[in-house]
Amino acid sequence: MRKFLTVICVIISSSIYSQKTIPNVNLKTLDGKSVNIEDEVSKDKITVLSFWATWCVPCINELDIISEVYEDWQDETEVEIIAISIDDARTQKRVKPLINGKDWDYKILIDKNQELKRALNISVIPHVIILKGSEILYRHTGYAPGAENELYKKIKEFSK
């Protein structure tokens, strides 16, 4: 029984992080326009995908804190952050009003059918993915004050 559980855990763990590139998925802009995530990601610079939802307080706290230093991060590393809402049909109507009340300079996209979330095996938010081109370099889940510093270290490391 123990061997069986170990094998199951290994299979689940490997499948969670098996995706090495960003999948070809269409998302929506706040204006309802359909865009392909591959076209939105910079081909030669670092891009951070931050998966969040209107009901996720740690997600909003993380995006608020990063917003305060985002301009400095862009000046130093040319990073672009794309905040991708994974709100479901019931809560998607809250995205635009929440964004209007924030001073976020991020590109905001909506994963309306949660297709990208499923393709990347995202089960916990906040979930941050660092990309160079379409290659996934780093993933992080959860947020605690100070986690943005670790994220910035990774961005600097990968932008060299």
In a domain, 133, yes or no: yes
* Number of domains into which the chain is organized: 1
Residue 160's pLDDT is 83
Q: What is the CATH number of the domain that holds 55?
A: 3.40.30.10
pLDDT tens digits for range 71-128:
999 999 999 999 999 999 999 999 999 999 998 999 999 999 999 999 999 999 999 9
Does 11 have pLDDT greater than 90? Answer: no
Domain that holds residue 82: 26-159
Q: Is residue 30 part of a domain?
A: yes
Q: Answer with the residue of higher pLDDT: 39 or 6.
A: 39
Q: For residue 14, is it within any domain?
A: no
DSSP 78-110: --EEEEEE---TTTGGGHHHHHHTS---SEEEE
Pairwise CA distance, residues 48 & 69, whole Å: 14
65 falls within a domain: yes
In a domain, 56, yes or no: yes
What is the model's pLDDT at position 42?
87
Q: How far apart are CA 123 and CA 120, in angstroms?
A: 9
- Is residue 58 one of the residues assigned to a domain? yes
Residues ≥6 apart with Cβ < 8 Å to 71 = 105
Tell me, yes or no, whether 6 lies in a domain.
no
Is 151 inside a domain boundary? yes
> In this structure, are residues 54 and 111 in contact, taking their beta carbons and an 8 Å threshold?
no
